[in-house]
Amino acid sequence: MSEARSTVFVVDDDEAVCRALTRLICSAGYCVESFESAHEFLETCPHLEGCACLVLDIGLPDINGLELQNELIALNRSLPIIFITGRGDIAMTVKAMKAGATDFLAKPVRDSELLSAIANALRVSSQALSSRIELDCIHRRMARLTPREREVLALLVEGRLNKQVASELGVAEKTIKVHRARVMEKMEAHSLIDLVRVTDKVCISPSPGQSS
Amino acid sequence: MTTLSAVAVSALVVLLIFIKIRRMQTSEPTIGLPIDGEWSRRRHNNYAFAVSDKAAGMERAGDALQDQTNIRRSAGFRPPKLSARHFVHTHLAILPRGRFRRTSLENELQPSHVKSRTEPDDDSWTAARQSRQIERFGATLDLLPLTILVANSQEKTLFANTAAEKLFGYSREELSGVPVGKLVPALHLNVSAADSACSNMALGGREPDGHRELVARRRDGTEFPAEVTTNPVSWENEACTLTIVIDRTERYELLRNRQQLAHLTRVSTLGELTGSLAHELNQPLTAILSNAQAAQRFLATEPVNLAEVREILHDLVEDNHRASEVIRKIRALVKKGELEAMPLSIASVIRDVTLLVRSDAIVRGIRMCVAVTPDLPPVHGDKVQLQQVVLNLLLNAFDALESCAALNREVAIEVTPEGGDRIRVAVRDGGTGLAGNTLDKLFSPFFTSKRDGLGLGLSISRSIVEMHGGWIWAQNNEDRGATFYFTLPTGATPERSFQRGRP
């Protein structure tokens, strides 16, 4: 994702601050969408596409920033969050960072600080996005495997030889060779190492029991 | 005020008893009879007559007594009202002029007096009698704990009682002949007006002068606030003014202490709000910084987006105003100032306070709802003090919501008209409500239900509201929580008590 297409969301209940932040971020060439309440943002959130980050004020009147962060995680729509607050304390900062915030800035915030935090957050977002796309792709490929092929895949990525797989599954080695060729093809892997790398990303090494 | 008045009243009662006893000793019920100038001339004629014809003179004297009683009846003499001040004015003023006392004196001394009538020097006799009477009157005034000065039409002091010596630090001799203006600089006696008023007063129909609050000066040059009451008297046949000076230092100190206490609680309340206030300042500062830096960036690009820069500059001015407004409001609440009564919109008072506590409410997760009936008439009062009341009630409401579920954390402020000439402000919370036994103690000083409360907020709020001519009370809501109400009179008539700073 290119930066030009990335979106920065700003949520601050203070109209003047919201407008000023929006301008500042706009001046750096980002596309900005601003919201004056957490609810307003949550309504838009399910339609989020692409690379984005959120500049979030902690002290919001409806739902506070930390609650919104948790809500987004619960909705599985998490995106990199840069918190800005006029009166942050250590406890608040720790809580926010543990929940995955990329930055925690104090108001009034300098442009260089904010913009580099945004660049950083967007990088995180873009990485997350590409890895999500990759994962989706891998999942899609794996979905094409038959249960028997999954079993074969699981044993192969553990480093078993065809012979060992055959004896484990109680079939002929020749049959395993056919399965292995189909797995390589469906997973679009060019070598065994390639297959291991791809499978590792989805952390799936289904045990024979699960695959049945 | 009350202590001094009590002392004054008791002193007057003593004086009256003294007079009563004197009256009982004489055969005639004489005290308090108003005598006008006409009668006094007639009496003087009687004396003149007595010189030429003793027997007839005696008869005439008897007639005169009879006349005198008639005058009293025909003048529709009313017994003085039972107000302390009235007693001061009626009796103190009349006594020196009281020819009637002289009559009773005459009766008392009659056996020897008849002989004395035969003496040729009537003038010297009258003078001696007068001076004796003045002496007696002076002695009586000396017994009073009030500072009393008698001054003539040239504003020269003719008499000062013991209390005056003590209060002003001069000896009696030094006070004699001193211009009254030296003691009470702003006091201007209007003796002629006082004299014309005198006869009215003598008929018992005149209400006492409104007292004035002036600054008096002691011998050592120190000044003190004083309540000064002037009244016309006749002193040695001269129209004079009797001035009562009451030292009000203590009362002013009390008033000042109350104001200082109110100020202190205000400052300490603001101290609790520091975080919130800092945030209120930080917001516009954030906007200013971001706007300014955005403008720098816009100006660095080609072509310059002038429209955007113009908007930014506009916002910068706005944000700056906003920041200075916050500072101005804080300063107004913190400053120590004299009470300033002016017509106020209660809505603006509430708006200013809600602005200051807004972010405190956000941090505590509390929603504030303000509902003000539109087009309410203004109230007359001191803005800072009324803000203090609203601030106090709001923060109390916030505290009451401390242990509440997030859903119920709401404070509603309602302003409604009440009974045509008042408005009512209600601050409603959805908290735990007030325990039954605390309801009547709520507004007492040092009563608090908070762990670290001073117990002064509500008591000060009450004195402020009452000073504005209103009432404050609290009651539990039917469903949940409590509501604090206060009323204020509307209209531009300042409360007299407000002007006088009644505690």
What average pLDDT does the structure give for chain A? 86
Residue among A21, A61, A110 whose CB faces B362 most closely: A61
Beta-carbon separation of A59 and B322 below 8 A: no
Query: Domain boundaries in chain B?
Result: 2-247, 254-499
Beta-carbon separation of B290 and A20 below 8 A: yes
A20 — contact with chain B (CB < 8 Å)? Answer: yes
B313 — contact with chain A (CB < 8 Å)? Answer: no
Q: Lowest-confidence range among A1-10, B23-32, B142-151, B384-393?
A: B23-32
pLDDT tens digits, A146-189: 999 988 998 888 888 999 999 988 989 999 999 999 999 998 88
A28 — contact with chain B (CB < 8 Å)? Answer: yes
Instruction: Look at domain B2-247 and name its CATH class.
Output: alpha beta
B359 — contact with chain A (CB < 8 Å)? Answer: yes
pLDDT exceeds cutoff 90 at A8 = yes
Beta-carbon separation of B297 and A27 below 8 A: yes
B322 — contact with chain A (CB < 8 Å)? Answer: yes
CA distance A133 to chain B (A): 35
Q: What pLDDT is attached to residue B7?
A: 60
CA distance B229 to chain A (A): 59
Q: For B359, which residue in chain A has the nearest alpha carbon? A: A59
B:408-427 residues touching chain A, CB 8 A cutoff: none
d(CA A46, CA A41): 9
Question: What residues of B are in contact with residue A16 (Cβ under 8 Å)?
Answer: 283-284, 287, 315, 318-319, 322
Residues 6+ apart with CB under 8 A from A98: none
Q: Lowest-confidence range among A129-143, B184-198, B216-230?
A: B184-198
B203 — contact with chain A (CB < 8 Å)? Answer: no
pLDDT tens digits, B328-371: 888 887 877 777 788 889 999 999 888 888 888 888 889 999 99
A105 — contact with chain B (CB < 8 Å)? Answer: no
pLDDT exceeds cutoff 70 at B93 = no
Residue among B279, B286, B318 whose CB faces A109 most closely: B286
Q: What pLDDT is attached to residue B471?
A: 92
Domain A144-211 fold = Arc Repressor Mutant, subunit A (1.10.10)
Domain A3-134 fold = Rossmann fold (3.40.50)
Residues pairing with B247 in the sheet: B226
B367 — contact with chain A (CB < 8 Å)? Answer: yes
Question: What residues of B are in contact with residue A108 (Cβ under 8 Å)?
Answer: 282, 285-286, 288-290
Confidence tier at B8 by pLDDT (50, 70, 90): low
pLDDT exceeds cutoff 90 at B49 = no
Other Cβ atoms less than 10 A from the Cβ of B378: the count is: 17
- Give one DSSP letter per residue of A71-130, joined into a string: HHHHTT----EEEEESS--HHHHHHHHHTT-SEEEESS--HHHHHHHHHHHHHHHHHHHH
B362 — contact with chain A (CB < 8 Å)? Answer: yes
Contact predicate B171/B188, CB 8 Å: no
Question: What residues of B are in contact with residue A27 (Cβ under 8 Å)?
Answer: 294, 297-298, 301
Confidence tier at A82 by pLDDT (50, 70, 90): very high
pLDDT tens digits, A87-109: 778 988 999 999 999 999 998 99
d(CA A51, CA A123): 9
A:43-62 residues touching chain B, CB 8 A cutoff: 59-61
Confidence tier at B427 by pLDDT (50, 70, 90): very high
Q: What pLDDT is attached to residue B434?
A: 85
Beta-carbon separation of B308 and A109 below 8 A: no
d(CA B43, CA B377): 63
Query: Domain boundaries in chain A?
Result: 3-134, 144-211
pLDDT exceeds cutoff 90 at A20 = yes
Its CATH architecture, for the domain B254-499, is 2-Layer Sandwich (3.30)
Q: Lowest-confidence range among A119-133, B35-49, B199-213, B330-344?
A: B35-49
CB pairs under 8 A between A and B: 84
Contact predicate A15/A38, CB 8 Å: no
Residues pairing with B381 in the sheet: B342
Confidence tier at A203 by pLDDT (50, 70, 90): low
pLDDT tens digits, B395-412: 889 988 888 888 888 999
Query: pTM of the entire structure?
Result: 0.58
* B155: helix, strand or coil: coil
φ, ψ (nearest 5 deg) of residue B193: -65, -40
Residue among B275, B293, B363 whose CB faces A111 most closely: B293
B298 — contact with chain A (CB < 8 Å)? Answer: yes
Distances (CA, A) of B292 to A175, B299, B314, B322: 72, 11, 11, 16
What average pLDDT does the structure give for chain B? 73
CA distance A34 to chain B (A): 14
Handedness of CA B165, B166, B171, B177 (dihedral sign): negative
Comparing B145 with B89, the larger pLDDT belongs to: B145
Beta-carbon separation of A86 and B279 below 8 A: yes
Q: What pLDDT is attached to residue B263?
A: 81
Question: What residues of B are in contact with residue A60 (Cβ under 8 Å)?
Answer: 362
Q: What pLDDT is attached to residue A17?
A: 94
Complex ipTM over 0.85 = no
CA distance B426 to chain A (A): 23
The encoded tokens of residue B161 equal: 């009682």
A115 — contact with chain B (CB < 8 Å)? Answer: no
A39 — contact with chain B (CB < 8 Å)? Answer: no
The 3-class secondary structure across B40-74, one letter per residue, is HHHHHHHHHHHHHCHHHHHHHHHHHHHHHHHHHHH
pLDDT tens digits, B431-455: 888 887 777 778 877 777 777 666 7
B324 — contact with chain A (CB < 8 Å)? Answer: no
Among B286, B298, B314, B315, which would you mutate to test the A interface (most chain A Cβ atoms within 10 Å of its Cβ)? Answer: B286
The secondary structure of residue B88, as a DSSP letter, is I
